[in-house]
Amino acid sequence: MEQREESKQLVARILAGHTEEFEAVIERYKKLVAHIVFKMVTIEADREDICQEVFVKVFQKLGSFKFESKLSTWIATIAYNTSLNYLEKKRAPLVDDLMPEENGLERLAAETYSPEDCADRGNLSEILIEEIDKLPVQYGTVLVLYHLEEMPYREISEITGLPDGTVKSHLFRARKLLKDRLLAKYKMEDLCR
Amino acid sequence: MSIEHLSEGRIQECLDNRFRGLSPTELKHIKDCEHCQGLVMEYKLLYAELAKDRPELLPTDFTSRTMAIIRQQVLPAAGLGRSSLVFAIGGLLSCLAAIIYLFDIKALLNGAASFSLESAVAQSGTVGSLSKMTTDLGPMLPILIFAGLILVGVAVADKLLLRQKTTRAYFLSV
Ligand SMILES: [Zn+2]
C-alpha cells in the first residue's frame, strides 16, 4: 500500500513536469521489463531496443494511467504487449510444439550425460536458463513472472490477458517439461551436487 | 498407505501453497510414499533454481540512454516563451544601459577601434577600482546592473517553468 502511494506521488511529479524523475521509474522497473522482454524476444540484438521502446511507451502513456492496477502490473503489461507485437511481426509462435514427443523428450532421454559433462556445461542455474529458453514463449514468460517476480496468478493473468486457469496450466506444464528435460539429461544426484 | 500417488500437478500445487490445503490422507500418503517424496524433492529443487536471481540483463547505462531518447525524441522542445523574451530583452537593455553609462558614450559612438576598458576608464576620468567608479558615477549604475541581472534571472526561470508547462501540456495531449 505504501509503495502504491509512493508510486502515485512519483507519477504525479513526473506529470507535473519533473520529467527527470522518470529515471526512478526506469531504475525501479527495468529488471521486470527485461525479464519479460528477454524471455519473449529471441533475437538478442533486438532485446535492448525493445526494452527502451517499452519505457518510451510507459512515458507517453503515463498521463492515462489511473492506478486501477499496480504500476508494476501496468508496466509489465506494456512490456508483454510490445514483445507480443514484435513476435507477431516476426511471425514467431507463442505456444508451439507442446507435445513432449515433439519436444524431443524421447531423444533427450536417450542421450546420456556424465557428471563431467554437467560440470563442463556450468552449474545447474545456467543449464536451467538454457532449458527455459527452449520452452515455448508463453511458458517461459509465465515461469519468470511467477518465480522471479513472485507475481500471483491473478496478476500474471492481467498482464498476459490469459485466464487464471490457463496461467496455472501453463505454469504446471512448463515446470513439468523443465523437470523432465533436466532429469532426462542428468541424474538427480548430479543435479543435487 | 493408499497406492494412489499424487499427480505432478497436485504436487506442484502443494509447493505453490506451501503444503496448505492438503487433505490428511494426502499428507499421510506423501509421508509414507517414496515415489511422491521423490517428486516433491525434484520439484523443490526446480523451484529453488527458478527463484534464483539472474545476472543483470541490461547494461549499466540503460537508464541514462533511455532518458536521452525520451528527452530528444519524445518531449517537445520548450522554446523561449513571450514572457521570458520580454524579460531577457529588458535585462540585456539594462545591462547595455549600465555599460554605456559606465564608459564614455562618445567613445562608443565614435567607434574608436582602440576602445578598451583602460581607455574608457581614462576617458571617464576615474582611476581605481570598479567600486570607486560606481560611487563616482552615482547610484544609477549598481541599480541598472542589479535590475539587468534580475531580469535575465527571471527570463531563465521563466524558460524552466515553460519547460514544465510544455511537459504538462504534452501529457494532457497524449
Ligand atoms: Zn505416492
Question: With 90 as the cut, is the pLDDT of residue A75 above it?
Answer: yes
The tally of domains found in chain A comes to 2
Question: With 80 as the cut, is the pLDDT of residue A121 above it?
Answer: no
Q: How far apart are the first and last CA of chain B?
A: 65
Q: Which of A77-81, A123-127, B55-59 has the lowest mean pLDDT?
A: A123-127
Instruction: Compute the average pLDDT of residues A166-193.
Output: 84
The tally of domains found in chain B comes to 2
Amino acid letter at A7?
Answer: S
Which chain A positions have a beta carbon within 8 Å of B74's beta carbon?
Answer: 56, 59-60
Closest residue, chain A, to B46 (C-alpha):
A179
What are the tens digits of pLDDT across the range A4-54?
889 999 999 999 889 999 999 999 999 999 999 999 998 889 999 999 999
Domain CATH number, residue A26: 1.10.1740.10
Of B49, B57, B70, nearest to A59 by CB-CB distance is B70
Higher pLDDT, B118 or A179: A179
Indicate whether B96 and B38 sit together in one domain: no
Chain A contact for B7 (CB, 8 A cutoff): no
Residue B154 pLDDT: 79
Question: With 60 as the cut, is the pLDDT of residue A117 above it?
Answer: no
**pLDDT category, B68, cuts 50, 70, 90?**
very high
Residue at which a domain ends, from A31, A58, A90 = A90
Global confidence as pTM: 0.70
Size of interface A-B (CB pairs under 8 A): 102
Structural domain span for residue B132: 79-173
For residue A95, tell me if it sits in a domain: no
Contact A37, A45 (CB under 8 A): no
What are the tens digits of pLDDT across the range B5-52?
999 999 999 999 888 888 889 989 999 999 999 999 999 999 999 998
Chain B contact for A24 (CB, 8 A cutoff): no
Indicate whether B140 and B61 sit together in one domain: no
Indicate whether A148 and A169 sit together in one domain: yes
* Pairwise CB contact (< 8 Å): A23 & B71: no
Question: How many other C-beta atoms can be found within 10 angstroms of the C-beta atom of residue B107?
Answer: 17
Contact B43, B124 (CB under 8 A): no
How far apart are alpha carbons A32 and A145 in whole angstroms? 8
Structural domain span for residue A120: 100-191
